[in-house]
Chains A and B, each alone.
Chain A
Amino acid sequence: MTALIAVVMALAAISAIGVVLSPQTIYSALSLVVTVTMISVLFLLLNAQFLFAVQLIIYAGAVMVLFVFIIALLNPEAEDRPALDYRAMIGLAAVAAVTILVFVTARNGITYGSGGFRGQQVGAASNPYHTFAFGADAVNAAGNVQTVAGQLFTTYLLPFEITSLLLLVAAIGAVYLTRRTKEAA
């Protein structure tokens, strides 16, 4: 199982790099589809079946379809590949530094409180993947429909409703803006 997770993670990373490096926009978008799908497969391997399905339906099946649609219709020209000059090097170094920092912070459980930074080594000696080690039951509970729905409709009801209202406003706004007026038609 761990090997399978590693393969899926590698595919996700490779396709994510493909999003940035593809010369053609449509290939960037399709790489993003692969990334999103691979992340959903990761959810599945971690037993979060509901998150898997939602990720697949919403991101890969709906949002990215629109991206691909629009890119294919506008058909943007292939862009010039930026040269790997000193500015690009600085950017790459910055990204690498932040990534390493985040990883180290997460691995050592470093938090920032009143007493400044505080680190706690979480069982690194006994199990190198300790931070990812949740039991199947715990993950199952977090990732299954009843738990998510229960939280969504009780604890987080207000934020949930506000978000849905926001989406509704956005949808109505989009319809209004794209509607042709009588004179223009």
Chain B
Amino acid sequence: MIGQDYWWVLLIKAVVVVLGLTTIAAYLTYAERKVAARIQLRLGPNRVGPFGLLQPAADAVKLLFKENAAPANRDRLLYLVGPSLAGGAAVLAFAVIPMGINNWFNYQFHWDIAHFNVGLLFILGVTSLGVYSLFLGGWSANSKYSLLGGLRSSAQLISYEMAVSFALIGTIILAGSLDLEQIVGAQQQTWFIVLQPLAFVLYFSGAFAETNRAPFDLPEAETELVAGYHTEYGSMRFGLYFLGEYVNMVIVSSIATTLFLGGWLPLFPFHPFDWIPGPLWFLGKVVVLLFFMMWVRWTFPRLRYDRLMNFGWKVLLPLGLLNILITGTVVALRA
């Protein structure tokens, strides 16, 4: 027994999560292309397999068999560390996200890998390591575009980390816990998106910047920086960065689902809604948020870099502080 589970249960959970996340990330690239195509009145990938469903596999094969071209004056070790870290931090964060609790034959099965009493802090801590992959990737390639892209994205990530964390504090005050299962449990009556609408908007806008996605995809503004921090990466090394970005999308959507959309709880707490199992509710909500992120990407233009920084520091952060103040006051008055 490790914690509350048998070791083989943990092993199965870990394998399922890692394989599941990478598969989901691969199919998100397909979904992104399909959504982009529909928004631009095109068809999108439709040649490989039925409805182009085998496109991600074809892409992976192509990336794996490409030549590993790399700049000559690179820092050989760090050049490889960058992409290796990219997906790792994000996948690790998923370990503590709860997708439901089931009771089977007196065995309480938790749909997460590890249970933390400070689960939210674990996620914030682990994802804060992701900045190293972007910065080291940008720096080690010894190219000006990479370096500028790496600098931009690191500065952006550090700035928005603050704003995002502040936005989450309101929900922690309401739930009175950092334990993700208890935060979901506190939403039995009302989801926190109803009680904390401002925090949700702040968090999700910050999340776009955290995942380097449009309209905040400055690190890879192709008109100015070619491709940003991964300019000098090719083949599967680039693929790992790409994968990390999509896994990150899943992570931020999962956090938003857990903290604001009631996690695995059904939409209404009666039949027939509660016949659908919790993990499916969880995944459904995550998919809705993911679609929303793609929708935004193909709808809004990119911000200028100074506007992006101003938005983070002068809009999101003060509003987050205001939200904490109001939430704290209301909770203290009602106590």
Contact = CB atoms under 8 A, between A and B. Distances in A.
Contact of B131 (A61, A73, A144): A61
Given A72-B139, A145-B178, A62 B128 contact: yes
B116 A49 contact: yes
A49 B125 contact: no
Contacts of A110: none
A56 B125 contact: yes
B131 A57 contact: no
Interface string B138-182: 010000000000010010001001000000000000000010000
Contacts of A61: 125, 128-129, 131, 161
A3 B100 CA distance: 32
Nearest to A71: B139
Interface string B98-134: 0000000000000000001110011011101101100
A11 to B, nearest CB: 16
Interface in B10-43: none
Contact of B121 (A26, A33, A53, A68): A53
Contacts of B178: 145
B118 A56 contact: no
A interface secondary structure, majority: helix
B118 A65 contact: no
B182 to A, nearest CB: 12
B281 interface: no
A139 to B, nearest CB: 12
A147 to B, nearest CB: 12
A160 interface: no
Interface residues of B, number: 22
Give chain B's interface secondary structure class. helix
A65 B121 contact: no
B119 to A, nearest CB: 9
B135 interface: yes
A44 to B, nearest CB: 9
A103 interface: no
A116 B126 CA distance: 47
A73 B138 CA distance: 12
Nearest to A37: B129
Interface string A47-83: 0011011101100111001001100110000000000
A23 to B, nearest CB: 13
A54 B125 CA distance: 7
A65 B131 contact: yes
Nearest to B177: A145
Contact of A56 (B116, B117, B128, B158): B128
Nearest to A33: B132
A159 B126 CA distance: 29
A61 B124 CA distance: 9
Nearest to B116: A49
A106 B3 CA distance: 31
Contacts of A33: 132
A61 B126 CA distance: 8
A53 B125 contact: yes
Contacts of A69: 135, 151, 154
Contact of A144 (B117, B135, B139): B117
B137 to A, nearest CB: 12
Interface of A: 26, 30, 33, 37, 40, 49-50, 52-54, 56-57, 60-62, 65, 68-69, 72-73, 144-145
27 contacts: A26-B78, A30-B78, A37-B129, A40-B125, A49-B118, A49-B122, A50-B121, A52-B118, A52-B122, A52-B125, A53-B122, A53-B124, A53-B125, A54-B125, A56-B125, A56-B128, A57-B121, A61-B128, A61-B131, A65-B132, A65-B135, A68-B135, A68-B136, A69-B135, A73-B151, A144-B118, A145-B117
